[in-house]
Amino acid sequence: MNQQPTWGWPTDRLPRVLVVDDQAINIRVAFEALRGDHEVFMATSGEQGLQVFRDARPDLVLLDVVMPGMDGHEVCSQIKAGPDGADVPVIFITGHDSDQAQVQGLGHGAVDFIAKPFHPEVLRARVRNHLLLKFQTDYLRSAALYDGLTGLANRRHFEEVFAGRWRAAERNAQPCAVLMIDVDHFKQYNDCYGHQAGDECLRQVAGAIGKALMRPMDLAARYGGEEFVCLLPETSLPNAGPVAERLLCNVRELAVPHAASGAAPVVTVSVGIATSLGGSGRAPQDLLADADAQLYRAKAAGRNRACAASA
């Protein structure tokens, strides 16, 4: 079982800290100061530090500035340039703590400095404060992008990603597909089983929808109420259909009882599929409208099915 740090790290694992220093004694002191409340990773050169960073995905980096070969400034710049490092706090540990040195380090993306020789309690307190600040920032970012009930992207996040994917499709003349999804007879489900059961139903359906998407570029989102949407970049109509069928099957296999449904004895969904080729002069709202129209076709045809717009 994972430990919890004594100062209340708000996840189910210990925070990961990477210490990069060419002096073994400095690494040892940092390790002894942090090992009780943190999972500590170590590297003795800049190049090794970058490799450990990629492998371990730490929550915070303690980084010496002066090292042979790649120095701390270069390591920090490379960490911050990558998609996995932009939000990871880097604290420089250095014997050069002049104003000029600090300005230079901050310019490379560091958040703090600790002067050598450092006191273990000072190190522990600085690390704790920056980790808690990181957690709070990550939480606020997640709350802004994801639906609190289902964990899927929220509508705002979907619209931002959709706009970017649409521009890419237009530049490259590639297809883009959208699936609009609605839980069948969800009002009746709430009336029959209650709103708490309705929330749990939406969570399970959201999970089934997410599992139907196989590529990192695909995005599932809660669009509002019991309505969901999936964005499938670089996907034509023949390739979008199997995704919709997999999604329908996943939801049926949940086997969530729905005695008040006219579509099936279990919870089901209806799906509308639409695709468009980038560069055709259409707007992203047109694709959403097409998918929505197909969703209503699926509902009118008896629900628990997918309908697609003609290519």
Architecture of the CATH domain 155-308: 2-Layer Sandwich (3.30)
Which pLDDT belongs to residue 292?
A: 96
Quote the CA–CA distance of 84 and 57 in Å, as a whole number: 8
Would you list the DSSP string of 38-80?
Answer: SEEEEESSHHHHHHHHHHH--SEEEEES--SSS-HHHHHHHHH
- Please tell me which residue in 47, 170, 226, 234 is annotated as part of the active site: 226
Task: Using the CB atoms, write b or e for 166-202: b if 16+ within 10 Å.
Answer: beebbeeebbbbbbbbbbbbbeebbeebeeeebeebb
Tell me what pLDDT residue 97 has. Answer: 66
What pLDDT does residue 8 have? 66
Domain range annotation of the chain? 16-145, 155-308
Same topology, domains 16-145 and 155-308? Answer is no
Q: Identify the CATH number of the domain defined by range 16-145.
A: 3.40.50.2300
List the chain pLDDT tens, one digit each, 311 residues: 456 676 667 677 899 999 999 999 999 999 999 998 999 999 999 999 999 999 999 999 999 998 998 999 999 999 999 878 889 999 998 876 666 767 777 888 889 988 888 889 999 999 999 999 999 888 887 778 899 899 999 999 999 999 999 999 999 999 999 999 999 999 999 999 999 999 999 999 999 999 999 999 999 999 999 999 999 999 999 999 999 999 999 999 999 999 999 999 999 999 999 999 887 888 899 999 999 999 999 999 999 999 998 64
Q: What is the pTM of this model?
A: 0.65
The answer to whether 226 is a known catalytic residue is yes
DSSP state of 146: B
CA 149 to CA 30: how far, in whole Å?
Answer: 40
